[in-house]
Amino acid sequence: MSTICTLSGRRTIIEYITSKKLKSILNDTLPVTDDHIMEHYGNLITPVCVLKPGEQEKTQANLLKIIRELMHHEASRDMTLAAVGGGVICDITSLAASLYMRGMQLVLVPTTLLAMVDASVGGKTGVDYRGYKNLLGTFYPAGRVLICPELLGTLSEREFKNGLAEVIKHALLSGSPLYDTVIRDQKKILSRDTECLEQLIHHSLQVKINIVEQDPEEQLGIRQLLNFGHTFGHALESSTGLIFSHGEAVAWGMAKALEAGVLIGLTDKAYARDTIALLKSYGYPVDHKVEERELFMKSLKHDKKRRKQIIPFILQKQLADTVLYPLNLQVVEKIL
């Protein structure tokens, strides 16, 4: 099975492969990965650079480390840099590929569910700088994305649920067939049935592809719809520290966006009730009550898009009916 995504004239071929095939493809590349991947899949990769795992490693220093390794291996533009890892490895390696000799061949092998359904397509690259996430980055879609669902077997429950929140978001944005799978195959999804995950990833990626192809460089407001749940979610993350994972915060944020929509008469009540119940059944903390209200409102007020007391939120009227809606902060306070 394969899919093509075309962004600003650059084609990305997305292929679904086994770990055996992955090993032979990686033999012809210069792979970058992290310690956790080496621990589990060191037999598949001969890396040119191994970074420590985690967001704190998404730095300018590590970007330059990859570039130094490329120089050390006398890499040329026609050689292929391969990112084998989660979103951190994919983002930093893609940035290195876009910069080295003004752009070299790039293959992404996303190994987390989040990276498979989100970070691997869309062309965004980046490193964090002086506390700002992805401050330095480029648009540089990979030529090839290799999805190997088998690799998800070693992912921690927390990381798996991180990606699943984005899958459910894609299901709510698009409706069928992804929505039907999320409702019908919950048991298989949570037990990480490889065949079921392959279908889930395929449909989820298709949703992201449809959106980014319409608005490749985020200039038309369409790509913003992918931020459903994120404005509430980011405020929860920054007001509570590390208590909630990103996925838990996004799922909570989607529930709050639905509640806010019901309060202003925009969102269908039955849809909001059923969707919040769905998120709960997947184990997300949708009932969480914000204790640090002041801190929460303060971080919302830092939103770059705020105008006086109004912030544009992504809300839903119904399944697959999503809008950008200017919400008064008083409405937000009522549902915390």
Ligand X SMILES: NC(=O)c1ccc[n+]([C@@H]2O[C@H](COP(=O)([O-])OP(=O)(O)OC[C@H]3O[C@@H](n4cnc5c(N)ncnc54)[C@H](O)[C@@H]3O)[C@@H](O)[C@H]2O)c1
The contact set with ligand X (CB under 6 A) reads 34, 36-37, 40, 53-55, 58, 85-89, 91, 111-112, 114-115, 118-119, 122, 124, 133-134, 151, 154-155, 159, 162
Residue partners of 197: CB distance under 8 A and separation at least 6: 113, 149, 152, 189
Q: How far is the CB of 178 from ligand X (least distance, A)?
A: 18
**Cα separation values, 156 from 20, 36, 41, 284, Å:** 23, 11, 15, 16
Given the complex with ligand X, which of 154 and 214 has the nearer CB atom?
154
Whole-number Å distance between alpha carbons of 250 and 50: 30
Confirm if 30 and 70 have CB atoms less than 8 A apart.
Answer: yes
Given the complex with ligand X, which of 168 and 276 has the nearer CB atom?
168
Query: What are the backbone dihedrals phi and psi of residue 18, each rounded to the nearest 5 degrees, phi first?
Result: -90, 165
State the residue number with the nearest CB to ligand X. 87
Q: How far is the CB of 310 from ligand X (least distance, A)?
A: 27
Q: How far is the CB of 333 from ligand X (least distance, A)?
A: 29
Given the complex with ligand X, which of 192 and 317 has the nearer CB atom?
192
Given the complex with ligand X, which of 85 and 253 has the nearer CB atom?
85
H or E stretch at 123: none
Given the complex with ligand X, which of 205 and 290 has the nearer CB atom?
205
Q: How far is the CB of 306 from ligand X (least distance, A)?
A: 22
Q: How far is the CB of 87 from ligand X (least distance, A)?
A: 2
H or E stretch at 210: helix 194-214
Interior CA angle at 105 toward 104 and 110, to 5°? 120
Whole-number Å distance between alpha carbons of 265 and 4: 39
